[in-house]
Amino acid sequence: MELPAQIIVATRNRHKAIEFEHIFGSEVRILTALDVDPDLTWNETGTTFEENARIKIQAVSSKASKSFPGSWILADDSGICVEALGGAPGVHSSSYGGQEGNDRQNTRRLLQDMERIDNRSACFRCCLILKIPHLGESVFYGQCDGSLIREGAGVLGFGYDPIFIPTGHSQTFAELPIAIKNSISHRARAFAALKAWLIQSK
């Protein structure tokens, strides 16, 4: 199965949309929830990444069916899971610091919570759901293992990237070149699973 010319990503986060643009490449135009409806919102009340991804895809698909009929829709939910915190922040990663989408507050709180903890193991996890008209939904997962440093480093990326060093590397996601991050990240690995599924579905 071939990728379409454009895909709607169920996000209002421009940083995430740019990351998808890098992952998919120039042959696919990435639209977002803002293109479907600038006022479109949803409440991420799920207890798992998959539940939250499904909330997003349902919200966007109900609107897109009118303005972008026949479009493929992709939703992702992702976050950082810290071993010493029992998997937290997890699904609450984007609001962990008390304000939705405030990367600085989120990172600051996580570093504070981990201040006296030696076990720095963590991972980023991602759940992708792809909805294709007349074919339904397919779910894909990706994970990137690594560890947390005690002070942020780097200016690239977003979210918790400045404090996360992926396994096998000595720099944070915010220090690594974008091309490297987008080849090993949790989102890239979920996309690789999606791409493999598309190839098998030909």
Q: Express each pLDDT in 23-58 by its tens digit.
A: 888 888 999 999 999 999 999 999 999 999 999 999
Q: Give the separation between CA 174 and CA 9, rounded to whole angstroms.
A: 23
pLDDT-derived band of residue 202, with 50, 70 and 90 as boundaries? low
User: Does residue 19 carry a pLDDT above 80?
Assistant: yes
Residues with active-site annotation? 77
- pTM, two decimal places: 0.90
What's the rounded Cα separation, in Å, for the pair 6 and 144? 27
Instruction: Determine how β-strand 29-32 pairs with β-strand 6-9.
Output: parallel
Domains and CATH numbers, the chain: 6-200 (3.90.950.10)
